[in-house]
Structure formats: C-alpha cells, structure tokens
Homo-oligomer: A and B are copies of this chain.
Amino acid sequence: MGEVGGTMFYHDDELQYEVEVEEPNPQFAKMLQQAIGGAEGEMRVALQYMFQAFAIPAEKQEMRQFLMETATEELGHIEMLATAVSKNLEGASDEAREAAREDAVIDEMMRSGQPRQALSAGLHAMPVDSNGVPFTGNYVVASGNLAADLYANVMAESTGRLLATRLYEFTTDPGMKDMLEYLIARDTMHQNQWHAALEALGEHRPVPNSFDQSKENQEYNYTFMSTAHEERENPEQPWTQGEAPDGKGEF
C-alpha cells in the first residue's frame, strides 16, 4: 500500500523574475488584479493546465508532464503579479497602514472601486479580478478530450496575451514594463506550444474526432444557415463556399 514518494510541488524563495516598481500606482494595482484572478488571468491557466494534466492517463506521461510543467510555471506568474500588486500599493510604511486615513495611496484605492483591497486584504493581492469579482472554478476548462483542451489553452493564452499587452499600454513604469515584457514573451511561447501540440495530434477536426461523422445530419453539417430577416444572396465568404478547413466537407 501507499508509500511516501516525496512531495509533489516545490517552491523556491527566489521569484521567477525580479519584480520592481518605481512609482507605486494603486490604479495599476487594480488593473493587475485582472491578470491574477480574472477570466484571462494566471490562476485560470495554472489551474486549467493542472486539472487537464490530472485527466491524462498514466500511459501518456509525456503529455501529462508537459501540461503539469506549464501549470507549475503559471503558479510562479501568480506570485510575480501578486508582488507587483503589493509594490504598487506601497508608499505607506508597514505600521502606518492601519492609520491610513491621510494616505494618498489608500485614498486612491478607495476612490477607484476596489476598496476591498484595503478593507479586506490590507493592500495586498486578492484572488479577484479588476472589478473585485472573485475567481471561480467556472473559468477552468478541462474536458477530458485533449484536442478540445488544447484549443481552450490557445484561447486562454490569446486572451491572456491580449490582456497583458493592454496592461503594457497603461503603464510607463520601467519595472512594470519589464515584467510585462517577460510575461508577454511567455504568452507567446505558450500560444506556440499549444499550437505545436495540436499540430502533433494530426487530423483531429471536427473535435471530437472519435464520433462517427456518418451519423451527423448530412444536410446541415457543412452549410452556412442565414438567419437574416430579409433573405439575401450568398455573400461569397470563406465560410459560405469552398472546402471546409477540416478537409471533410464542402461548404
């Protein structure tokens, strides 16, 4: 029966990447929360890749490890961003925080729609998005079908990189820009790695490709259906004519 094989996750005191903030900015701290606990954030990808890995059977160990190693990397991104939030909320000394009434940082925090950051979290990161809505397990897609999961990952890294580039435009702080240049680079890599894994799957569309397509209704599986109130001509778009991308039908 069960034997102890060492712990499964490990932590290193050093940050994956050093996070510095030159001019603390509570507005930016609030925005960074989207990248922690939001639909496009790091908690989502960390947990999504983790639960996807949990579903990979033992005989596909390489894929399981691939997903788990990336999940583990994303845990480090949560820590980087949490550090960035704290540093953007700094400005009052540790003691002065409880007596914070005249503090400009806290005042700004209060005015800007994320008061819980001061009231509930003492000016630190929280598992919520930039509107203060808590992270939810609903964000996690782990379907038990690898192709569907990989598309979910492509999407998560696409909206995640979009968010990071938007954050990049909102800051002039060199430390924050540096951190985001790193995170955006990792998103570039992660988008590419999930695409590479999809390509390695070979022919996999339509997802799931285990379903016998001859059972599909053959009249409707490659036809664009217009729902325009007034009938209109075929707009001759790539989705109304020509070969379907899955190579299995003609629009």
Contacts and interface: CB of A to CB of B under 8 A. Distances in A.
Contacts of A178: 1-2
Interface in A103-157: 106, 110-116, 118-145, 147-148, 151-152, 154-155, 157
Nearest to A97: B144
Interface string A92-109: 001001111100001000
Interface in A213-251: 213, 215-230, 235, 237-239, 242, 244-246, 249, 251
A215 B187 CA distance: 13
Given A2-B182, A187-B206, A191-B246, 19 more contacts: A5-B15, A6-B14, A8-B75, A30-B110, A38-B116, A43-B137, A51-B124, A97-B144, A100-B169, A113-B115, A123-B144, A124-B144, A129-B132, A132-B133, A151-B154, A186-B225, A188-B222, A189-B225, A192-B246
Which 5 pairs of residues, A with B, have the shortest CB-CB distance? A122-B144, A113-B113, A131-B132, A127-B137, A134-B137
Given A65-B13, A245-B199, A193 B137 contact: no
B137 A135 contact: yes
Most buried by B among A78, A97, A136, A138: A138
Copy count, this protein chain: 6
A23 interface: no
